[in-house]
Structure 1
Amino acid sequence: MAVALSFDVDNETAPFCLDETSPGRVSQAHYGSRVGLPRITSLLREHDARASFFVPAVAMRLAPDAVERVREEGHEVGLHGWIHERCGDLSEAEEYALAERSADVLRRHTGLMPRGMRTPWWDFTEHTLPVARHLGLLYDSSMMADDEPYELLDRGERTGMVEVPVAWIRDDAPYFPDDPAARQILAPRQVLQIWKDEFDGAVAEGGLFQLTLHPHVIGHRSRMLVLRELLTHISSRPGVWFATHEEVARHIGSRIGIASDSARESSA
């Protein structure tokens, strides 16, 4: 079975996209690149686990060294919008323009073409799939129709794009909200049990365990303890493949007959 860990490196874009610019609020988000991200990459190194990091373009420009360290560790960097905007608030032209600008920033900072995306807020509009196809992406990771990856259709037409599905139950943000008025309803170790059960269920079915985390959320000490115990639990099971989302998408694509990059480019 496969384990696809992912980290949405929102950092300061988390408050910026909501027009919250007070120093206190921004410092809370800056914790992600300053403290959370180094802790995460160190823990992944201990378990020889590669992951996918989805980074808004503004966050990439604010912390280019952090993105460079992620790449040096062998992790994937994917698209995550411009400033964590809500795609549903954009016109079709605006969504296209911001996606192209974001892809350009990622290329300049990593030297690589983006292969996948995760929409900010998981806000996938009627224009998002055509935008992703326009960018030549291999996969998306924003939708929730299954536990296992599947091919996206565009009005019944096969697209050759794989969906690596997400779920709120496998995301740290709902359990540990940024807003102090939004009460944390579960202790970290209770969340650990949910994620262990999700992983064990994936093992029983021989499928995918996908997890979405945020450095400024999971990066705190008590929560990192939970992530450490989860990775220890995962690593104790034989036959587990730690894979980037791109690797999962390529594996699924080969199984369901999706054309290779070269074939897709020649037919475009």
Structure 2
Amino acid sequence: MFDREPHPANPAPPAPSFPWPGGARCVLFPGFDVDAESVWIGMDQRNVDRLVTMSYGGYEARVGVPKILKLLARHEVKATFFITGWTIMAHPAMCEAILAHGHEVAHHGYLHLRPEPGQEDVMVEEVDRGFDAMMRVLGVKPKGYRAPSGESSTGLLQLLTDRGIQYSSSWRDDIRPYRHVLPNGPGPIEIPVNYSFDDWNFGMTHRSGSRALFGREEVLSIWRDEFDQMREWGGVTTMIMHPQVTGRPMRYRILDEFLTYVRRYDDVWLATGQEIAAHYERCERDCQAAE
């Protein structure tokens, strides 16, 4: 039976108003979901033999990620790359390059399967195989996690807590970080996502998911307006970008111009997920010590 009683889906209180480091007014969290071909397999495992479909994801290692790494270096921006375990196994050189450029590598499942309540065995396998791939190939034990297809559950949050994940970046219900509350105690820190910054919505169309593409000025207008208001509110602008989308020529230009726009302000903290979570924990400890 499903629990349809009226109560908030998220028991965590609203996010605390911790100050940002160095007197910053707001935060930009550049995050990339590096799915490569795994996103297409996760959608439909028959796609493994549909090589043109798979080539959407193959673009990441061949062109998308190298171009984005150069762009981030030019803007002196460090980002978080949420990478599936399958992608790490299939494209180790691409993932090693991300690390070599000083970016954070975080967990994004193994085969990009959407976490489903009631399928605990699948969730455990997805999480554990992702950890194993990261450690064996990159020597990394990630601190952050973003759920494939952006879905989560109490069971998944508990699993992540048990595995030592410090923060999640999947939920859509706040503008500042907060800590999840689980039945057995505190859960991971959540760095909420701004869905307007998911480039897949604006720049991905394919034969089984045909949709209109948004032009450069349309996307830039959305991103600037969202960022401007978030800066006024003092929140965190969390981006969900995919190298197989933003690594395409015109989409690359959108990111380039947006980062140039953000860099006009000297009161914006550009941070990785791990930096944001570490700052949250310091503020949390200070508040607890003061009580």
TM-score by structure 1 length? 0.91
**Partners of 2:113 and 2:126 within 8 A in 1:** no
Match of 2:41 in 1: 16
1:214 maps to amino acid: H
Determine whether 1:164 maps to 2:191: yes
Q: Secondary structure at the match of 1:54?
A: strand
CA shift for structure 1 position 86: 1.6
Alignment deviations for residues 82-101 of structure 1 (CA, whole Å, 9 cap, x no partner): 11012117621231232112
135-144 vs 184-193, greater mean Cα deviation: 184-193
Determine whether 1:216 maps to 2:244: yes
Match of 2:23 in 1: none
CA shift for structure 1 position 166: 1.0
1:189 maps to amino acid: E
1:44 maps to amino acid: L
Rounded to whole Å, the distance in 1 between the matches of 2:175 and 2:184 is 21
Match of 1:140 in 2: 168
CA shift for structure 1 position 185: 4.8
**Partners of 2:40 and 2:53 within 8 A in 1:** yes
Q: Secondary structure at the match of 1:174?
A: helix
Q: Give runs of aligned pairs for residues 29-44 of structure 1, distance below 5 A.
A: 29-44=57-72
Question: Tell me, which stretches of 5 or more residues in structure 2 are unaligned?
Answer: 1-25
Determine whether 1:243 maps to 2:271: yes
Determine whether 1:65 maps to 2:93: yes
**2:80 paired residue among 52, 62, 83:** 52
Q: Give runs of aligned pairs for residues 1-268 of structure 1, distance below 5 A.
A: 1-17=26-42, 18-19=44-45, 20-21=47-48, 22-88=50-116, 91-155=119-183, 157-159=185-187, 161-180=188-207, 181-257=209-285
Q: RMSD of the TM alignment (CA)?
A: 1.8
63-72 vs 199-208, greater mean Cα deviation: 199-208
Rounded to whole Å, the distance in 2 between the matches of 1:113 and 1:245 is 14
Q: Secondary structure at the match of 1:69?
A: helix
Structure 1 residues 152, 174: CA separation in 2 closer, same or farther (over 3 Å shift)?
Answer: same
Structure 1 residues 138, 89: CA separation in 2 closer, same or farther (over 3 Å shift)?
Answer: closer
Question: Tell me, which stretches of 5 or more residues in structure 1 are unaligned?
Answer: 260-268
2:38 maps to amino acid: T
TM-score by structure 2 length? 0.84
Q: Which runs of 4+ in 1 moved over 6 A?
A: none
